[in-house]
Structure formats: C-alpha cells, structure tokens
Amino acid sequence: MKKLTNDFGNIVADNQNSLTAGPQGPLLIQDYILLEKLAHQNRERIPERTVHAKGSGAYGELRITADISKYTKAKVLQKGEVTPLFLRFSTVAGEIGAADAERDLRGFAIKFYTKEGNWDIVGNNTPVFFVRDPYKFPDFIHTQKRDPKTNLRSANAAWDFWTLCPESLHQVMILMSDRGIPASYRHMHGFGSHTYSLINNENQRFWVKFHFKTQQGIKNLTNAQAESLIAKDRESHQRDLYESIQKGEFPKWTFQIQILAEDEAEKLGFNPFDLTKVWPHHLVPLIEIGEIILNKNVENYFNEVEQSAFSPSNIVPGISFSPDKMLQARIFSYPDAHRYRIGTNYHLLPINRAKSEVNTYNVAGSMNFDTYRNAQAYYEPNSYSDSPKEHKEYLEPDLKIGEKAQRYAPLDEDYYSQPKALFDLMNAQQKDQLFENVAASMDGVDSIVIQRALHHFEKISPCYADGVKKALERLKHAD
C-alpha cells in the first residue's frame, strides 16, 4: 500500500485528527500537515480570466495538405507538416460557473507546438468583434459583466453601449442570430478574426485571415432549447466535447485562409485591419490548406485547461502581425494578464511550454523551475560563442506607416452595409429568430435605448426594424 505523504514526500502518520493540546485543547501550530493543507486549499484557485473564464480543452493535430510556400516560409504551414496542438473553447462574458449554453460568443484559442516555437491563434467563433479600437475594449467588457451596484448583468448597459457604438451592429446581429448559441463546441466554426501577415522566403508580406470550418456541420440552439438544456446540464458543451473524444468521435475543422498581397489591400474599399468587418469571399476567396483534429482529452483540467495561456504575441518566422489596432493591443494585454493571473513564469508550465529549443536570458521570478543553461554569460551582448545570439536574417520586411502620430478617427463610418449583407443572406426563419432574440434580450432596457437601436436597425433594413418592433409588441402583450 502506498504511504500518504505531504507535498515534500514527508509521510503522514494521521490524516484524520489535528494535533491538539489535550482531547479538547486548542490546536498546536507545529501541526505542519494541517497548516499545509489549509494553506494549499486557500490557494487552489487562481484568479479567473476577466473574459473567457469558463472553458474546455483538448489536444490534437494540425495537418497541412496544400502548398502555400509562395506565401509563407513558416515551417508549420508547409505541405505535409503535422503539428501537435491544444485547443481551448470558452464562453466569453460569463464567469467560471456560467452555463455552457448561454447566448454568447465562444472563444476558439489554439496553441500550436511548432518546431520553431509556440504559435497561438486567439480567436472566436465569429469573424468580427464588437469594437475596433482597444480604447473601447475595457468599457465594452464592463457592459458584459455585472453592475458593481446590483451585482446583476444589465441588458440596458449592453444595448446602451452597442447603440452608441454602431460598429458593434455587425457582431450584435451574429450574436442575436440563430448562431448565437452553438449546440456544442464541435458544431461551430472558428476564426482568427484579426488580420495577420504571412512572410515568404523572398521577404514578401501578404495579409491573411484564418478560418476553421467545422466538419461536423453547424448546429445551434434556440433560446427555449438552451433554457431547457441549462436546467438539466450547465456543462453541456464540456460534456459533449469530452465524451465525443472518449468515444473516438474526433471533431475536425477544415483550415482555410484568405490572402491579400500587401499592395492589394486597397481593393477591399475599406480598412482591411478593421476587426468589425469581414473580407467578402467574392473579393478574397477562401483557400483550403489543411485541417485540425482533436483526438485526446486532458488528464487534469486545472493544469491543462485552467492554466493554459494563449497570446497573439506568440508567433513564428513566416507569420506576423498587422496594423489591426485590436491585435496590437492584445499583443500586450494577453501576456500581461497571464503574468498577473498565473505568474511570471507561466510559460514554464507544461501546457504552455514550447516543445522546441528555448534559449533566453530571462532569469528568476516566482516559481521558476527551469534549468539555467547559459554557462558562461547571463547577459547579452557577450563575448562567448556558445551563448545565444540574435539572428538578423529573421528580421521582417519594412512596414510602411504614416508619419504623424495622433488619435485618428476610424477611416470610415460605414456601420450598416456589412450587417445588411448578412441580414439579406438570412432566410425567413433565421430572420424571425433574430427578431425574437433581439426583443428578448431587450427586457429591462430603457425606451430611449430601444428607440436608438431601432433607428440603427432601420438603417440596416426597414424589415429588420419592423420585425423587432413587432417582436417587442408581442412580448409586451404577453406580459
């Protein structure tokens, strides 16, 4: 029989009774096992993520089946390459105890353990977002969280913000559509959302968007179906993902990209780096380049899912950034959040650690369990040939930017054409769902905010505004 020990291997003689001064006496502080157990319990939870707090994850592979070497020199994207990955799904607005089947965006974050370091795509299940300037991001998140006075979620706050920031209308329409509640994580698409760049061996830059199309088919829930499911199972998506993989029904997504040459970006007619807009497929077709498959569940949820940390700052040679303002801000904010939430050396945890060689001069910090390998120098530059050195051949091509720094307004105020295009694609049933979902979400919203929303809907389509008005009237009479 195995002997019970504490965290340091000290054998525990009695794990049932505290050490006391007499049978009724007070506790003794020398009972270090008791103190260790209580102290550890106090620290069993790390702060939950500000957003994407509740998640599910699994391991898998990326398989590249097409030759796109003319666009990128990244080894991970070369034909025939197979790369291990970890994918974390999540809800966005809810806390760690939120129900899986709530109307919300879903996070779609992938960590690729490539031969050249970790490459992270921190995406969602939608191709756009609510805001395009990070200045607005903290305020937007506040509207999705609890009112600090009532500690309740506020539909009025959400709609007040959305209607005062009409760039949100595109994402709001997707959120309120039939796709606002995926039936499971397996039955939804994933998107990198941002514009990134690919760089080839000739040091040419191409703008790129990443898409992951579910091979299981799109399946969604209505409000009524979701309410019924949540009443029985708050972990429906977690359960579905875990059990599907356990049964060998491995979920797959087709990996596709959109490519624009650096000098072709103008053909879109709008800012290609605007996170609230999509690149129309008739202008920039999808190119299929491979697939991802999830084929292994985690062994320890806390270690592997809760402590997993993703950031768009994790890139590899041949893949890089763009002038997307939201992407630029996330490059800072994500690693900063991880250092606060998990610790300075979160990158050393097995789930986050690169499988490729790592050579750095970063030292010390809380919970640093790494082996220091720089024998002759702990600084750079240094005189020793066996110490890590910079490699200028990995410099990226020049990026042309404006010469004046100021707080520029958006390049356009076209908030309505892409939501109109999406609305026109919907069939009658989808439109009816949209009207009912929007009306239901406006419960408790001030009339001035509702009227502002209807004014925006009218600009998208008179049918949109009229449909929501009628849905609101039906709800009013039902009450």
Six-digit token string for 442: 């406006």
- CA distance linking residue 379 with residue 159, whole number of Å: 52
Neighbours of 381 (CB within 10 A): 8
Residue 138 — φ and ψ, nearest 5°? -60, -40
Percent of the chain as helix, strand, coil, to the nearest 5:
35, 20, 50
Q: Would you say 236 and 181 are in contact if contact means Cβ atoms under 8 Å apart?
A: no
Strand 252-261, strand 82-91: pairing = unpaired
- CA distance linking residue 280 with residue 213, whole number of Å: 16
Six-digit token string for 138: 């903290």
Six-digit token string for 177: 């559509």
Catalytic residue flag (residue 220): no
User: Among the options 10, 15, 40, 52, which is catalytic?
Assistant: 52
User: Among the options 124, 220, 314, 352, which is catalytic?
Assistant: 124
3-state SS class at 116: coil
Residue with tokens 């959040």: 337
Six-digit token string for 239: 């359960």
Catalytic residue flag (residue 303): no
**In the beta sheet, which residues pair with residue 191?**
124, 211
Six-digit token string for 446: 């001030």
For 335-366, give one letter per residue: b (16+ CB within 10 A) or e: bebbbebbbebbbebebbebeeeeeeeeeeee
Q: Hey, which residues are catalytic here?
A: 52, 124
